């Protein structure tokens, strides 16, 4: 689990204003004090997954386009996020996901 997050950290810290932190006690990257990617804490998530915050529309598009990489478990269905098998992603694809998630959270929390 920590190896996958080391890769996420390396790519995510290149984005403006990103800080390391925790979300529900799990490693996370944050922008404006809000996590945009973390290690999922719910036991239904597969090992070596990450959870990325996205709009419901963006999430649904990714689930449809790449179901081998993106997935959901019932616990996460009502939240604007998606579970990700990041080990199946290239660094370029992972960096794009992180930027999309970062932008979603940064825009949503402008006042902070």
**DSSP-derived 3-state class of residue 24:** coil
How far apart are the C-alpha atoms of 49 and 84, rounded to whole Å? 5
Averaged pLDDT score across all residues of the chain: 94
Question: What is the reported pLDDT for 108?
Answer: 84
Phi and psi at 107, nearest 5°, equal -70, -40
pLDDT score of 94 = 98
What Rg do the C-alpha atoms of the chain give, in angstroms?
13
3-state helix, strand, coil in the chain (%, to 5): 40, 25, 35
What pLDDT, on a 0 to 100 scale, did the predictor assign at position 61?
98
Grouping H, G, I as helix, E, B as strand and the rest as coil, residue 16 is coil
Predicted confidence (pLDDT) per residue in 55-106, tens digit: 999 999 999 999 999 999 999 999 999 999 999 999 999 999 999 999 999 9
pLDDT above 50 (res 1) = no
Confidence of residue 3 (pLDDT cuts 50, 70, 90): confident
Task: Say whether pLDDT at 34 is over 90.
Answer: yes
Q: Residue 18 phi/psi, 5° resolution?
A: -85, 135
List the structure tokens of 69.
Answer: 């990489």
pLDDT score at 55 = 97
The structural domains of the chain, with segments of one domain joined by +, span 2-108
CATH annotation of 2-108:
3.90.1150.30
Q: In this structure, what token pair is assigned to residue 78?
A: 């009502």
Mean pLDDT for 34-53 is: 96
CA 1, 11, 103, 89 torsion-angle sign:
negative
Residue 2 has pLDDT above 90, yes or no: no
Res 110: pLDDT:
67
């Amino acid at each position: 689990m920590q190896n996958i997050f080391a890769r996420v950290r390396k790519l995510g810290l290149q984005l403006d204003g990103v800080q390391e932190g925790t979300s529900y006690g799990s490693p996370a990257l944050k922008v404006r004090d809000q996590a945009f990617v973390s290690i999922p804490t719910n036991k239904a998530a597969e090992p070596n997954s990450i959870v990325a915050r996205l709009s419901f529309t963006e999430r649904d598009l990714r689930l449809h386009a790449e179901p081998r990489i993106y997935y959901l478990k019932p616990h996460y269905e009502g939240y604007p996020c998606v579970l990700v098998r990041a080990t199946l992603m290239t660094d370029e694809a992972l960096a794009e996901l992180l930027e999309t998630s970062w932008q979603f959270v940064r825009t949503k929390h402008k006042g902070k």
